[in-house]
Amino acid sequence: MPQYTYKARNRADAIVEGAIDADSKDNAASQLMDRELVVTSLEEIKKQSNVIEAINKFFNTVSKKDLAIFLRQLSILISAAIPLVQALRILSNQAENQTLQKALREIVDEVEGGTKLSLALERYPKVFGTFFINMIKSGETSGKLDDTLNYLADQQEKDYELQSKIVGAMTYPIFIISLLIVAAFVMMTFVLPKMLTMFTELGPDVVLPLTTRILIGTTDFFQAFWWLILFGAIGLGVGAGYYGRTPEGKRMFDTAKLKIPIFGDLFKYIYLVRFTRSFSTILVGGITVPQGLRVVRDVIGNAVYEDLIDQTIKAVEDGNPVSSVFAKSKYVPSLVSQMLSVGEQTGRLDDVLDKVTSFYVREINAMIENVISLIEPVIMVLLGLGVGVMVAGILLPMYTLTSQF
């Protein structure tokens, strides 16, 4: 759909600027008139090429950090009794992320024209997400938008802090393992073949140790088919990424994540924390359990737990408690289902979910520390074995040959 930039005067005779999506220029002008704006300038934005647009979207995504900062700043401004339109305009002018800045400027124009904040946000589900939008809608309905924003800011900051810890913990081992794979590929393809040439020229009469023969066979394969290995790895990665976006592929990969030794429990706790924290926030916002479960479903990010929540929604609509489905799942610890049952029986489900969240956040932090302390010696052992095999493959035949003289 074409997009138009405009300048117009509002009811207070102040100049406002922004952008609007419309089928035609006349339709854009009509929409602006409906907002009681007097248009002074209206120009169509020329579309960029698909490649440039895709690159801009990739590099200008709105991260959890951007959204957490925006939420905290908006909650502070609203708590300071600054009008919503003025607060949004201040934040749109100082936003560093271009995608967020563009969205906020258009939202300011819509809110100033009389549109509710939640309705304006609904035009940008990829920026703010259904969870955020539903919480804002709940805050508007209850008349406690400032409280809702404060609570949302707290939760978003906790989510960002947890995500940062996980990413920070996994960056070092992933970097080291990637470096080792590249180094092994270079050694097998370009370095070792030259060093092992002397052994291949000795002829069939000389019996080389098994380690050396395996090393020679491996380097010959790498040298002859390095291009096949390289493009095969790239093709496998692209194919896995494409298949992972299909419903069947996503379900398979998401199930596999939960079964990986050591890391499976870590992933399980991460998804459970996303559920308990988001569901608690939703309940505090006054949203009903079935509707809240539908919103939380889109936040989890794992097909196994999404299916579990779908089953829970059906059970709740049939008059059963949330804990009834969770208690039957092997991917939910008994503690979670028992605590959910206690929360439902006492009518304090949001408080219980907060306590469960705090417990599993501590578990995640402990597991991350254990994984880091375990990965470093494992990497050193693997590195030592690799170097040992290469050294043995080169030195053993040299020792055997020299002992024959």
Residue 279 tokens, joined: 């569901």
Cβ neighbours of residue 305 closer than 8 Å, sequence gap 6 or more: 271, 272, 275, 331
Residue 271, phi then psi, degrees to nearest 5: -70, -35
The pLDDT tens digits of the residues spanning 284-321 come to 877 888 888 888 888 888 899 999 999 999 999 998 99
Positive or negative torsion for Cα 101, 105, 110, 115 = positive
CATH superfamily of 196-405: Type II secretion system (T2SS), domain F (1.20.81.30)
Give the pLDDT confidence score for residue 400 in this predicted structure.
Answer: 65
Give the pLDDT confidence score for residue 311 in this predicted structure.
Answer: 92
Give the pLDDT confidence score for residue 199 in this predicted structure.
Answer: 67
The pLDDT tens digits of the residues spanning 365-397 come to 888 888 777 777 887 888 788 778 777 777 777
Give the pLDDT confidence score for residue 29 in this predicted structure.
Answer: 80
Low-confidence ranges of the chain (pLDDT < 70): 1-3, 45-60, 195, 198-207, 399-405
Give the pLDDT confidence score for residue 54 in this predicted structure.
Answer: 44
Nearest alpha-carbon partner for 332 in 350, 362, 307, 313: 307
Positive or negative torsion for Cα 182, 185, 189, 194 = positive
Give the pLDDT confidence score for residue 299 in this predicted structure.
Answer: 80
Question: Residue 120: is it exposed, middle or buried by C-beta count within 10 angstroms (0-12/13-18/19+)?
Answer: buried
Give the pLDDT confidence score for residue 235 in this predicted structure.
Answer: 92
Helix 145-186 vs helix 125-142: crossing angle, to nearest 10? 160
Residue 96, phi then psi, degrees to nearest 5: -85, -30
